[in-house]
Amino acid sequence: MPVSAEAFDRLPRPPGWKYEMWDGRLRLEPDWRHEIARWTGVVPDAAAPSGVAIEPVEGTERASLANAAAAAFAGSPDFFAVSDERCRQRLAEGIAEALDLEPEWVRRAQRLARAEEGVVGLLLLREVEGGVTLETVGVRPGWRRRGLGAAMLQAVLGALPDGVDVRSCWLIANRESGAWHRSVGFDVLPTSVSLHAHRIAERWTSGPPTLGDLTRLRDEVRAREGHERDGRAPDPFAFARPIHRRPTGVG
Per-residue pLDDT tens digits for 198-229: 554 444 445 554 555 555 655 655 565 454 44
Which of 38-52, 91-105, 186-200, 217-231 has the lowest average pLDDT?
Answer: 217-231
pLDDT at residue number 228: 43
* Number of CB atoms found within 10 A of residue 132's CB: 26
List, in order, residues 6 or more apart from 189 with CB less than 8 Å away.
Answer: 35, 36, 37, 38, 236
pLDDT at residue number 232: 40
pLDDT level of residue 138 (50, 70, 90 thresholds): very high
Please say if the pLDDT value at position 173 is more than 70: yes
Mean pLDDT calculated for residue range 49-68: 95
pLDDT at residue number 42: 80
Would you state the CATH architecture of domain 11-243? Answer: 3-Layer(aba) Sandwich (3.40)
Give the integer Cα–Cα distance in Å for 178 and 36. 10
Give the integer Cα–Cα distance in Å for 216 and 50. 54
For the chain, domain boundaries:
11-243
H-type helices in the chain, by residue range? Answer: 5-10, 62-73, 84-100, 104-109, 148-159, 175-183, 192-204, 211-229
pLDDT at residue number 217: 54
Q: Bridge partners of 34? A: 171
Asked if residues 13 and 146 have their Cβ atoms less than 8 Å apart, the reply is no
pLDDT at residue number 237: 46
Q: Which of 72-86, 188-202, 235-249 has the highest mean pLDDT?
A: 72-86
Asked if residues 41 and 184 have their Cβ atoms less than 8 Å apart, the reply is no
Task: Output the CA torsion 251→86→114→134 (10° steps).
Answer: 60
What's the mean pLDDT when you consider all of the chain?
A: 79
Give the integer Cα–Cα distance in Å for 72 and 65. 10
Please say if the pLDDT value at position 19 is more than 90: no
pLDDT at residue number 47: 87
